[in-house]
């Protein structure tokens, strides 16, 4: 059923009244957050670069792109392994199979491979130096059993290590080499990723050249989200701004009947 013209007119009048109020409060919040984020930027950075070279892509987001592409490859590999395990599985009723039953051994190996790929999300996503013993073993199994998935993992790791290079020229050469490798890797997810990397190539190199990161801003945004969730929302944007200012500043408010150390309410930004 279509709404009547009377109801449409009322809706338009309501939107016309509410929209300016909502927009003004949104702009007020946006201006506060932008000014606060400018305050927490480190003061020991070099002088501002020209406007054409200030645009940069944070390393966290670039590695996140590669991790998402790697996870898509992992899911596709798990589905292939699961289908292969179902194809060789044979229902034999109750009881264990015999030790010399070749078909049962092949089915068990195929099922184990599918399970290892399914549980390998953290093994593939984490850096090699942070892997546990079980995750390292799982990664070795993937290297021996699934060549495409392991190549995708190596592509992700090589892209991550590029951001540790301090020389911009060397980083550019390594990035071009990575793009050539990803372009010919025959993995659709990373072929698409290298196109995205080439579109953002100058911004990625600016990140290495200027040594910038938005990690502190991201941490502040997470604090604000946590504060809103703990408060179950605020009635007014002004109340939220006051609480964020109090929570994310160095203000130390001694509460009554408490010592100075226990009376610290806020946390340092």
Q: For residues 70 and 158, is the Cβ–Cβ distance under 8 A?
A: no
pLDDT in tens, 159-205: 999 999 989 999 999 999 999 999 999 999 999 999 999 998 988 88
The share of the chain scoring above pLDDT 90, in percent, equals 31
Q: What is the distance between the alpha carbons of residues 83 and 182, in angstroms, rounded to a whole number? A: 27
Highest mean pLDDT among 50-59, 80-89, 119-128: 119-128
Q: Name residues whose C-beta falls within 8 Å of residue 196's C-beta, 6 or more positions apart in sequence.
A: 65
Q: What is the distance between the alpha carbons of residues 73 and 209, in angstroms, rounded to a whole number? A: 32
**DSSP structural state of residue 265:** -
Name the 3-class secondary structure at 56.
coil
Q: Name residues whose C-beta falls within 8 Å of residue 207's C-beta, 6 or more positions apart in sequence.
A: 56, 57, 58, 59, 163, 213
pLDDT in tens, 125-161: 998 999 999 999 999 999 998 999 999 999 999 999 9
Q: What is the distance between the alpha carbons of residues 226 and 157, in angstroms, rounded to a whole number? A: 31
Q: For residues 63 and 196, is the Cβ–Cβ distance under 8 A?
A: no
Give the pair of three-digit tokens for residue 143: 């290297």
Question: Average pLDDT in the 206-215 region?
Answer: 80
At 103, the pLDDT band (50, 70, 90 cuts) reads confident
Q: For residues 99 and 192, is the Cβ–Cβ distance under 8 A?
A: no
Q: For residues 150 and 141, is the Cβ–Cβ distance under 8 A?
A: no
Model confidence pTM above 0.85: no
pLDDT in tens, 24-58: 665 665 665 555 544 444 444 444 444 434 567 88
pLDDT of residue 66: 95
């Amino acid at each position: 059923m279509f709404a009547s013209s009377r109801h449409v007119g009322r809706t338009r009048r309501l939107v016309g009244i509410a929209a300016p109020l909502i927009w003004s409060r949104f702009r007020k919040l946006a201006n506060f957050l932008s000014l606060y984020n400018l305050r927490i930027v480190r003061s020991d950075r070099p002088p501002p670069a020209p406007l054409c070279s200030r645009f940069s892509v944070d390393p966290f987001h670039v590695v996140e792109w590669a991790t998402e592409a790697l996870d898509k490859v992992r899911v596709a590999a798990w589905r292939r392994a699961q289908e292969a395990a179902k194809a060789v599985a044979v229902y034999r009723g109750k009881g264990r199979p015999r030790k010399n039953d070749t078909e049962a051994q092949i089915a068990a190996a195929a099922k184990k491979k599918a399970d290892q790929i399914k549980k390998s999300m953290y093994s593939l996503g984490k850096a090699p130096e942070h892997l546990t013993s079980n995750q390292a073993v799982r990664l070795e199994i993937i290297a021996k059993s699934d060549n495409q998935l392991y190549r995708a993992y190596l592509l992700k790791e090589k892209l991550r290590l590029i951001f540790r290079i301090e020389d911009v020229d060397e980083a550019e050469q390594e990035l071009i080499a990575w793009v050539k490798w990803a372009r010919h890797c025959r993995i659709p997810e990373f072929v698409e990723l290298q196109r995205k990397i080439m579109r953002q190539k100058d911004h990625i190199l600016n990140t290495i050249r200027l040594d910038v990161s938005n990690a502190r801003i991201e941490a502040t945004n997470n604090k604000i989200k946590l504060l809103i969730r703990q408060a179950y929302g605020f009635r007014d944007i002004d109340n939220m701004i006051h609480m964020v200012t109090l929570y994310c500043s160095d203000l130390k408010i001694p509460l009554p009947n408490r010592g100075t150390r226990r009376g610290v309410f806020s946390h340092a930004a």
